[in-house]
Structures are given as structure tokens and as C-alpha cells.
Amino acid sequence: MRLQESDNDSDYADEIYVAPSKLLAFYEDVNGEDCAIVHSVEWSDGKETALGNTRLILNYFLEFQSSGWPAIRKIKLANIYRPLYVIERKRGKDPIPPKTTARVSQKEYIVSVVKSRTTWAEMFYWWAKDEVDPWPDEVKVMPASSDCMSTDEESSQG
């Protein structure tokens, strides 16, 4: 999602991208454009949760301004590129967290973005290509005289 240039009322007005974002509301602005109100996130460092980021799930802290208010932004609906499945780790009674300047409190507000299932097969392919050894050139067979080997007759008795 791209940040509107006219949104200069936050501490991070020079920020270009606010993706992914927690979608709060849709509306039509005074110019007749379809817009959305979002709570943007900070870039992921992979340490938001105990498990960190994985190939299928990326975690992000919800963004707060230096004043302690959540970073709420207006974006054009046309700038929403695709839907994401997001899990909010700490849910409150209100759609946005309360004002807090304590970084420890702000770090409690994490969203986990689950990658689209349409990409899972390709992600598995690249994981397997990088991580899983290809079929071995030689199949190692244990000698028949090994003590740990049993014959069909031995295994059927007993």
C-alpha cells in the first residue's frame, strides 16, 4: 500500500510504503475517491515472536508514532494490491491499541501475515531445492549378514 502524499500529519510522513497494514475502514473522501484507513506496521526484524519469521508466516509490529499514538494512515483503495490473511496476536476491545510511549507495551501488538496458499507449492519447491538432498547416486544396501537385518521368515515368526 502506498502512503498518500497529503498525509503529513504523522511522524513518518516521508514513508512511501505502509504494507502490510491492518485495514480499519473504507470510505469515500471529499474528492470522491475510494479510500481506506489503515494501521501500518513497522518492517519485520524476524524477532517479533518466539519462532520468528518462517517461509509461510511473517510477523510485524504495529507502528506507533513517537507521540505514542498508533500510526493511522489514509490510503487510496487503488493502492491496495492484494488481500492478505493476517492474524492479530493481541486483540483488544477497540480496533486500535491505546496510546502508549512505552516500547515494551508497543511490542505486544504484533500481526502475523500468512503467505497466500497459491504460493505454497512454489515456496515448497524452492525450499526443497535448497534444503533437501537430491536422490543419491548410489543406494547403500546393508549386507545380508548384518545382525540388525531379519528375513521374511524371521519376521513372520513370533
The answer to whether position 65 is within a domain reads yes
HSE-CB at 91 with a 13 A cutoff on CA atoms is 4
How many percent of the chain have pLDDT more than 70?
Answer: 70
Range of the domain at 46: 21-133
The answer to whether position 11 is within a domain reads no
The per-residue pLDDT for 55 is 78
The per-residue pLDDT for 119 is 80
The CA-based dihedral angle spanning residues 134, 140, 146, 147, taken in that order and rounded to the nearest 10 degrees: 0
The answer to whether position 74 is within a domain reads yes
Number of domains the chain is built from: 1
The pTM of the whole model exceeds 0.75: no
Query: What confidence tens digit (pLDDT) does each residue in 26-81 have?
Result: 999 999 999 999 888 887 777 777 778 887 888 888 899 999 999 998 888 888 87
CB atoms within 10 A of CB 76: 15
The answer to whether position 143 is within a domain reads no
The answer to whether position 150 is within a domain reads no
The per-residue pLDDT for 26 is 93
The answer to whether position 155 is within a domain reads no
Q: Which amino acid is located at 63 in the chain?
A: E
Average pLDDT, the chain: 75
Going by C-beta distance under 8 Å and a sequence separation of 6 or more, which residues neighbour residue 156?
none
The answer to whether position 1 is within a domain reads no
